[in-house]
Amino acid sequence: MIISIKPWLELAQQPDLTPSMMRVGESFAGLELSSDAEADEFRTSYRSYGPSASINGLEQGKRMEFYHKPIMSAEILSAMAPVRGKQIFDGTLGGGGHSELLLSEGAHVIGCDQDRDALEHAKARLESYGDQFLTVRGNFESIDSLLAQVGVEEVDGILLDLGVSSKQLDNPERGFSFRFDGPLDMRMDDRAEFSARDLVNEWSVDEMTRIFREYGEERHAFRAAKAIEKAREKGAINRTSELVDIVSRVIPKISKKNPATRVFQAIRIAVNRELEVLENALEKSIDHLATGGVLSILTFHSLEDRIVKHFMRRLSTPFLDRPEWPAPRENPEYCLHLPQRRAIVPSKEEVESNPRARSAKLRVAVKL
Ligand SMILES: C[S@@+](CC[C@H](N)C(=O)[O-])C[C@H]1O[C@@H](n2cnc3c(N)ncnc32)[C@H](O)[C@@H]1O
């Protein structure tokens, strides 16, 4: 439910309104919150934005106040123990939700994002933390040079909350979503040269089939790729809605999901080289974690989680053994301790109040 802007603004402007006053079923200025999820979203937003609080991405003037609801906040706080004096690199700043939690506990945060809009938004939102909060624009794949830019060698924590933010997904102009018509873009960094439009118009059927199958786990990958090839013979494919039409004609709708979902996900992963970037970042991150430092990676895709799992297992195994060796040998890469071998998943309550949390998996490792 999207509440119309006028009563919402009247509500938000009530000078003595505090988050605890807002409960489901209570009415302010003629407005009633209809669910726990909406009340929760309002309270979170109110804590960050005060009188400009919003829900459901409601626009105030031209500015979207709601950016991204941080996922598994409690679990991340408990893993990172962000006390005063600690310095944490948040490689996926986004709306600044996780960073704010870390800052409010006293930690210093270096916030990084490759998205210009995210960085500007978070800078403004977290301005009050002064020099406790630094920002750098770039790809966390280059964590080494990003830290060098701010004169830091080692940090006590590295946080990556992978993928795109709600704000990026919900902005038609960014072209990430099959739900809105917009240009076929999908670049998180608008300085990058390669976009979804290039992929869809230039890649071979084989290349598209591979990514639809591997990154999207799309059973009809070949059919979708062939349909794109056929469609582009008539002219370039430029809009998200065109791509939705093309693939929806050949991918059967078997659930509530839009048939284009998996193709869009695969293209986004390929355009932003998300898996390769993650692998590179993990390898480099270890060199910049202080002893006792915590690596926390939040993934939303099985391929991402597999990369993180294998990386953490590889570096947390003290001895290696092979049938041809007379005895186990020390693992030269051994430098991590895993407080928990299994991935941590969000609570049922969190998934209910924020469906975007449903596929989240958090893996944590501590540098030895
Ligand atoms: C899921 S959001 C993060 C939300 C954030 N944790 C919060 O609480 O608001 C992911 C953000 O990371 C950024 N991002 C994704 N991959 C990146 C990369 N390789 N380098 C830098 N930023 C990246 C995206 O642009 C996006 O803003």
| Residue 365 near residue 316, CB atoms below 8 Å | yes
Contacts of 34 (CB under 8 A, 6+ apart): 1, 24
pLDDT of 47 reads 56
Distance CA 359, CA 300 (A): 5
Which of 48, 104, 113 to mutate for ligand 1's pocket (most ligand atoms within 8 Å of CB)? 113
Q: How far apart are CA 42 and CA 48, in angstroms?
A: 10
Is residue 235 domain-resident? yes
Is position 184 within any domain?
Answer: no
pLDDT digits (tens), the chain, 368 positions: 333 333 444 444 454 444 444 444 443 433 445 555 666 666 665 555 554 455 544 333 333 346 788 999 999 999 999 999 999 999 999 999 999 999 999 999 999 999 999 999 999 999 999 999 999 999 999 999 999 999 999 999 999 999 999 999 999 999 999 999 999 999 999 999 999 999 999 999 999 999 999 999 999 999 999 999 999 999 999 999 999 999 999 999 888 889 999 999 999 999 999 999 999 999 999 999 999 999 999 999 999 999 999 999 999 999 999 999 999 999 999 999 999 999 999 999 999 999 889 999 999 999 99
- Please check whether residue 250 is in contact with residue 234, taking contact to mean a CB–CB distance below 8 angstroms: no
Residue 183: inside a domain, yes or no? no
Tell me, yes or no, whether 113 lies in a domain. yes
In a domain, 354, yes or no: yes
Is the same domain home to 267 and 283?
no
Question: What does the CA dihedral 176, 177, 183, 189 come to, rounded to 10 degrees?
Answer: -10
Same domain, 225 and 351: no
* Residue 77 Cα to ligand 1 middle (Å): 18
Assign residue 149 the CATH number of its domain. 3.40.50.150
- Whether 21 and 37 map to the same domain: the answer is yes
Cβ-in-10-Å burial (0-12, 13-18, 19+) of 334 comes to middle
Domain finish residue from 255, 271, 287: 271
In the chain, the number of structural domains is 2
- Residue 61: inside a domain: yes
Domain boundary among 238, 271, 304: 271
Query: Is 172 among the domain residues?
Result: no
Alpha helical stretches, state H, 215-290: 221-232, 240-248, 261-271, 274-285
Token pair, residue 87, equals 């310095």
Question: Residues near ligand 1 with C-beta < 6 Å?
Answer: 68, 70, 91-92, 94-98, 112-115, 118, 139-141, 161, 163-165, 188, 277
Tell whether 186 is covered by a domain.
no
- Whether 35 and 122 map to the same domain: the answer is yes
CA atoms within 13 A on the CB side of 194: 11
The CATH number linked to 243 is: 1.10.150.170
pTM above 0.75, yes or no: yes
- Provide φ and ψ at 178, rounded to 5°: -75, -10
- Say whether both 226 and 85 belong to one domain: no
End position of a domain, from candidates 232, 256, 271: 271
Instruction: DSSP letter for 130, please.
Output: G
240 and 292 fall within a common domain: no
Residue corresponding to tokens 């199958």: 213
Measure 168 CA to ligand 1 centroid, in angstroms.
10
Question: Does 77 share its domain with 219?
Answer: no
Domain span at residue 234?
193-271
Residue type, 266: A
Q: Which residue has the tokens 């938004």?
A: 121
| Alpha-carbon gap, residue 301 to 265, rounded angstroms | 10
Would you state the structure tokens that stand for residue 246, as one six-digit string?
């093309």
